[in-house]
Amino acid sequence: MNFKKKNIGLKYNPYVDQAPKIHFKFTGFLPENIIREIKKKQIPIIQNSMLAEVLSKIEIQKEIPEELYLVISRIYKILYENGYIK
């Protein structure tokens, strides 16, 4: 079987958005040069295949459904506590 990774980017502006939105999504492996750039810009990468599977079903620029608020808020909390979000 050929399992490809699902890559999903979320974007959230609390002054504009009611909930985080799907910013980008693609299937495949991240090339090393992209991973290097992501790390250089200190953008966190969270690996959770079950969450990625659910998020991949949402259209780009659409808000996440209310059923995912709790899990996404927990991720944002961890990012905040580790200084990724100010």
Q: pLDDT, tens digit, for every residue of 6-42?
A: 889 999 999 999 999 999 998 887 777 877 888 888 8
Please check whether residue 53 lies inside any domain of the structure. Answer: yes
The pTM for the full model equals 0.80
The CA-atom distances, in angstroms, between 52 and each of 6, 14, 46, 68 are 6, 22, 10, 12
What CATH number should be reported for the domain holding residue 46? Answer: 3.40.1690.10
Residue 4 has pLDDT above 80, yes or no: no
Is residue 30 in some structural domain?
yes
Which pLDDT score is estimated for 63?
97
69 within some domain = yes
35 within a domain of the structure (yes/no) = yes
Q: Supply the pLDDT for residue 1.
A: 44
Torsions phi, psi for 60 (to 5 deg): -60, 140
Per-residue confidence (pLDDT) for residue 3, from 0 to 100: 59
Contacts (Cβ under 8 Å, ≥6 apart) of 12: 19, 20, 21, 76
- Residue 63, classified by CB atoms within 10 Å of its CB into exposed (0-12), middle (13-18) or buried (19+), is middle
32 within domain boundaries: yes
Residue 86 lies in a domain: no
Number of domains in the chain: 1
Residue 1 within a domain: no
Cross-strand pairs, 6: 27
Interval 38-86: pLDDT, tens: 888 888 888 898 999 999 999 999 999 999 999 999 999 998 998 888 7
